[in-house]
Chain A
Amino acid sequence: MWSTRVALAATAALAIGLTGACGDGDSAGKATGAGQGGFTVPKIAARQSLGAGEGRVNLVAWAGYAEDGSNDKKVDWVHPFEKQTGCKVNTKIAGTSDEMVTLMRTGEYDAVSASGDASLRLIASGTVAPVNTALVPNYADVFPGLKLKPWNSVNGVAYGIPHGRGANLLMWRSDKVRPAPTSWGAVFDANSPYKGKVTGYDSPIYIADAALYLMSSRPELGIKNPYALDQKQFDAAVALLKTQRGLIGEYWSDYTKEVQAFKSGDSVLGTTWQVIANLAKAEKAPVEVALPKEGSTGWSDTWMVGAKAKNPNCAYKWMDWIVSPKANAQVAEWFGEAPANARACGLTADRKFCDTFHATDETYFSKVRFWTTPIAQCLDGRKDVKCVDYSKWTQAWTTIKG
């Protein structure tokens, strides 16, 4: 009884919804205090040892994360895995973080490649279990800058194996935009000469980009973390984006669209990923990219194991495989992101790949604020205010686009 009351009180005080902890009566007793974000984490034990493989593993993954040669014959790290471990891989491609959350909650999948805007939700709802990194030999070679981060751990307990990372960069047409921009101010300047040719990422999470810029341009707002915005800070970010809307030609949400827009010159300036810049250059579009002086937002994906995984041994084998130097080099190169395994850099087909993607450049990534789900209690540790949660971000995003 007592623990149930505590859990309920914690819920009310923190004003966040909890499913695993208090939605189900039977798991309420298992609730054990708050994570660093302040939310309650269901107590689920990590595995202490591994058994024999179950013969199969069911994955939820981003497109390009589990290639079996069906898209490109030469791009295949699934079949070698199957051959080596005897675990047959069954992959479900998810389009959004929310789809991943929904799929994992069915309990039918063993592992997921969650981004930072999904991982915390999976942890809090008890959908995924902590990961015993000792059972993943290749974890040792993962860049320290990716280990035990807020989006893949709680209270120093690892909940997954880092897969790779990338930054949301500033891209521009070098023939149209002069001088070369060095600040995000270029995409937020109300008097921009590139009005109607600026592009932005079409997702509520793009509000964080505005917040990131406000951190340096309006320090008086006191933004410490672009994913932890109180109402006032949030309103300022939204106002900035509403001004920016006048400059926007179009928002982008997929590769091909942005590559084509920069190639034709419909967009000349805006946010991008390294891989898109590479593709655009490959198509002879005169573009340049940079990490602006304010730093940037970015993503870091994590392989997590389902709490109710039916094939946990194969799931662990897969996690170890995907961060093994060779496979990690392949997936990073195919998807266009910095690999998680430091030794992967020696095995990429393109010798300069890790340099291009700044894989070993911790100073570079220290400026990158990886995507995290904004929740009501501020992720930056503030207790005196409530932060604006992700559903409000979504509705605001609609308002911004008008």
Chain B
Amino acid sequence: MDDDQGLTAVAAARPAPGPRRRAAAVLHRRPRLRLTLLLSAPLAWLVPGYLGALAAIFLTAFWTTDTFTGEVVHQYTLANFQTLWDEPVYRTIALRSVGVAAAVTLIDMAIGLPMAFAMAKVVRPRRRPYLVVAVLAPLWAPYLVKAYAWRVMLAHGGLADEVLGPFGLSGPGYGLTATVLVLAYLWLPYMILPVYTGLERLPDSLLDASGDLGARPLRTLRAVVLPMVFPSLVAGSVFTFSLSLGDYITVKIVGGRTQLLGNVVYDNVGAANNLPFAAAVATIPVVVMLAYLAAARRTGALREL
């Protein structure tokens, strides 16, 4: 009996389009509504969860912390920024951090470009996936494990010393150099991948054409490859630069006594529980990155991201 009734109901409903069909028809006629529906979920996350958090950081920077109980005092003051400005140590640390980020980016460009080139243009297409996996593989290992591995390698009498020993040199030890080195290692895949993608899209015939017109490989690199992967390089550098600017763990492990902006933020969030001051410090990399992105935008590189 139940079955029969069900069938009758379906049969009766058939002439009029179902609600799903009607909704689809409405959406088809109204592209703007369609777009709104499509974007509502991501925007619901993006606006409060993402931009909101950024705004909260900025807002918090104008508050202070009760030093004893650790509670945030919601009273607007520029005291945190005043401290940042007045204490030369913060300027030193900010400049050092930007310097490290820039050095890491340059090293990754210098290593990543030839590597990506070999992957995209030299190696046979069938072997490329393996190389991509090889480049990505280090990303699967935990960050801490890699950083500690470097710590052991850079230790007194460690691998670095052993390898450089025969040349009368010794490893860099723990410090700024080690920090740059390890960060460059950690973020290298983030440079290689966009450059590789960029090079893969560069037709082989352009390289052939350049050689055909008499250009030697270096000339081809300078006149054809570099201008064409420049946006990809900038895209990769956005990753390496921002990741380096925010790092505080690597420098703690191999940086010796060096401290970067990330450490100041971490120390203030963690040890001192001074979230407002940490937020004020955190605005420095945000401002630096915004300036960097603005510069990158002018090159058209953001389209590669």
Report A's interface with B, CB cutoff 8 A. 16-20, 23, 39, 95-96, 98-99, 101-102, 121, 124-125, 202-204, 245, 248-251, 253, 256-257, 260-261, 264-266, 373, 375-376, 389-395, 397-399, 401-402
**Cβ-closest chain B residue relative to A373:** B68
B89 touches A39 (CB 8 A): no
Please name 6 pairs of A and B residues whose Cβ atoms are closer than 8 Å in the assembled complex, sorted by A: A245-B257, A394-B267, A394-B272, A397-B267, A398-B89, A398-B93
Cα distance A395–B268 in the bound complex, in angstroms: 8
Cα distance A257–B148 in the bound complex, in angstroms: 8
A249 touches B174 (CB 8 A): yes
B148 touches A256 (CB 8 A): yes
Cα distance A260–B154 in the bound complex, in angstroms: 11
Contact segment of B8-16, B69-77, B197-205, B211-219 = B69-77
Contacts of A121 in B (CB 8 A): 68-70
- Chain B binding surface, main DSSP class: loop
B272 touches A390 (CB 8 A): yes
Interface residue? B299 (CB, 8 A): no
Interface residue? B39 (CB, 8 A): no
Contact segment of B45-53, B110-118, B125-133, B155-163 = B155-163
Cα distance A101–B68 in the bound complex, in angstroms: 11
**Cβ-closest chain A residue relative to B254:** A250
A257 touches B158 (CB 8 A): no
Give which listed residue, A125, A250, A373, contacts B257 with CB less than 8 A: A250
Closest 7 CB pairs of A and B: A17-B66, A394-B272, A264-B155, A98-B273, A391-B67, A250-B256, A19-B69
Give which listed residue, B69, B71, B151, B270, contacts A257 with CB less than 8 A: B151
Give which listed residue, B157, B255, B263, B268, contacts A264 with CB less than 8 A: B157
Interface residue? B136 (CB, 8 A): no
Give which listed residue, B71, B87, B253, B257, contacts A395 with CB less than 8 A: B87
Contacts of B71 in A (CB 8 A): 17, 19, 23, 125
Cα distance A261–B152 in the bound complex, in angstroms: 9
A391 touches B155 (CB 8 A): no
Instruction: List 15 additional A-B contacts (Cβ < 8 Å) besides A204-B267, A253-B252, A264-B157.
Output: A17-B67, A19-B71, A23-B71, A98-B70, A124-B68, A249-B173, A249-B256, A261-B155, A265-B156, A389-B67, A390-B67, A394-B267, A395-B272, A398-B90, A401-B259
**With A17-B66, A17-B67 given, is the CB distance from A260 to B152 under 8 Å?**
yes
Interface residue? B274 (CB, 8 A): yes
B69 touches A98 (CB 8 A): no
CB distance from A219 to the nearest CB of B (A): 29
Give which listed residue, B68, B152, B271, contacts A203 with CB less than 8 A: B271
CB distance from B90 to the nearest CB of A (A): 8
Q: Which of B236-278 contact A (CB under 8 A)?
A: 252-253, 255-257, 259, 263-264, 267-268, 270-274, 277
Contacts of A202 in B (CB 8 A): 252
Report B's interface with A, CB cutoff 8 A. 65-71, 73, 83, 87, 89-90, 92-93, 148, 151-152, 155-158, 173-174, 252-253, 255-257, 259, 263-264, 267-268, 270-274, 277
B68 touches A249 (CB 8 A): no
CB distance from A125 to the nearest CB of B (A): 4
Contacts of B65 in A (CB 8 A): 391
Contacts of B259 in A (CB 8 A): 398, 401-402
B273 touches A101 (CB 8 A): yes
Give which listed residue, A98, A260, A389, A398, contacts B264 with CB less than 8 A: A398
A394 touches B155 (CB 8 A): no
Contacts of A124 in B (CB 8 A): 68-69
A399 touches B87 (CB 8 A): yes
A265 touches B68 (CB 8 A): no
Contacts of B173 in A (CB 8 A): 249, 266
Give which listed residue, B69, B151, B267, contacts A398 with CB less than 8 A: B267
Give which listed residue, A96, A257, A261, contacts B271 with CB less than 8 A: A96
B257 touches A251 (CB 8 A): yes
CB distance from B292 to the nearest CB of A (A): 24
CB distance from A61 to the nearest CB of B (A): 17
Contacts of B89 in A (CB 8 A): 398-399, 402
Cα distance A266–B170 in the bound complex, in angstroms: 13
**With A264-B156, A390-B67 given, is the CB distance from A98 to B272 under 8 Å?**
yes
Cα distance A389–B89 in the bound complex, in angstroms: 20
**Cβ-closest chain A residue relative to B89:** A399
Contacts of A249 in B (CB 8 A): 173-174, 256-257
B273 touches A19 (CB 8 A): no
Contacts of A204 in B (CB 8 A): 267, 271-272
